[in-house]
Amino acid sequence: MSTFPTHRPRRLRQSPAMRRLVAEHTLSASALVLPVFVTERDEPQQIASIPGVRQETLATLPAVVQAAADAGIGGIMLFGVPLHRDAVGSGATRPDGILNRAIRVAADASAGRLTVQADLCLDEFTDHGHCGVLDGRGAVDNDATLERYAAMAIAQADAGAQILGLSGMMDGQVAAVRGALDAAGRTDVVLLAYSAKYASAFYGPFRDAVESTLVGDRTTYQLDPANAREGVLEADLDIREGADIVMVKPAGPYLDVLAAVAQRSPVPVWAYQVSGEYAMIEAAAAAGAIDRDRAIMESVLGIRRAGAAAILTYWALEIAARLREGARALGTEVQA
């Protein structure tokens, strides 16, 4: 007599409707954030290593913001690409610096329909490409950098940024920025701490996007890819210092860290699907090796499944459009 299985999990996979009904995780447009690069040049610049992504200008930025708002995504993260840089990144704190000007333009264009977020780091503004100021030996001076971050936070808040992305990985950066903002009466500004930011090879295309001048690497302040517990510790420290949101970056290669942080964090946990992750899928799809559309959705859903409440991804607009098309096909609205 044949023995048949008692448990048949395939029952719950037999149709699209059944699979939707029992899905453990879903994507929503409102949980996506679009990174946007803004140049001081007069014309947008294509970024060869990030296909489909370009440096916007102050003139083209409003259309991007409005498209993002129309798509229902949760926010945009702004990065500045200045034409002139110096040792202390003075352009980061000038009101007429490209990033602060972009924040003002985006805040006006958004009209409150999405969150305007700004990268708070010096690497785009320093002539040496490091995320902080250097000491006499050429090493990044942690505490001197904190003073620059505090000034940068005030400048970005004054320009209209609602969320500041602290991405420099300096010890004590959350406490320093929170203290400066509170002292200035800006207790309303949200701090997104890039808590577990790893010294990753996957940032390569991003450095093209911001025209990085970095010589060497950032291994003395970004996390060692071999360490998971250290990423959890960094998140714990940032939460104690007052971070409103913590983040793991990159996302795909560090899903274990993301899951561990999400399991214990009392604040929202986000993840950044970085430029190298994006570029790999685009390259593999262009070579005919994978199904592009399925790979995009699978990669982002995997990040969501690991515990990310929101995801920074260069596909934010495309994914939002796809979610909307799917909802229309079902006769429903996109989840907000």
User: Rounded to whole angstroms, how far apart are CA atoms 161 and 251?
Assistant: 24
- In a domain, residue 5? The reply is no
Cis upstream peptide for 250 (omega within 30°): yes
pLDDT band at 326 (very low <50, low <70, confident <90, very high): confident
pLDDT band at 3 (very low <50, low <70, confident <90, very high): confident
CB of 306 closer than 8 Å to CB of 296: no
- In a domain, residue 22? The reply is no
**What are the structure tokens assigned to 177, written together?**
């920025």
- In a domain, residue 185? The reply is yes
Active-site residues, by number, are 197, 249
User: Rounded to whole angstroms, how far apart are CA atoms 332 and 335?
Assistant: 9
User: Rounded to whole angstroms, how far apart are CA atoms 67 and 110?
Assistant: 10
- In a domain, residue 230? The reply is yes
* Domain region containing 276: 27-330
Question: Which CATH number does the domain housing residue 225 bear?
Answer: 3.20.20.70
**295: which residues sit within 8 A by CB, 6+ positions away?**
281, 284, 285
Query: Sign of the CA dihedral 297, 299, 304, 308?
Result: negative
pLDDT tens for each residue of 8-27? 999 999 998 899 899 999 99
Going by C-alpha positions, the residue among 291, 257, 290 that lies closest to residue 272 is: 257
| Tokens 């200035």, located at residue | 184
Going by C-alpha positions, the residue among 102, 24, 120, 73 that lies closest to residue 315 is: 73
pLDDT band at 1 (very low <50, low <70, confident <90, very high): low
Q: What is the pLDDT of residue 330?
A: 57
Going by C-alpha positions, the residue among 253, 301, 248 that lies closest to residue 276 is: 253
Give the count of domains, the chain: 1
Is the predicted pLDDT of residue 331 greater than 60, yes or no?
Answer: no
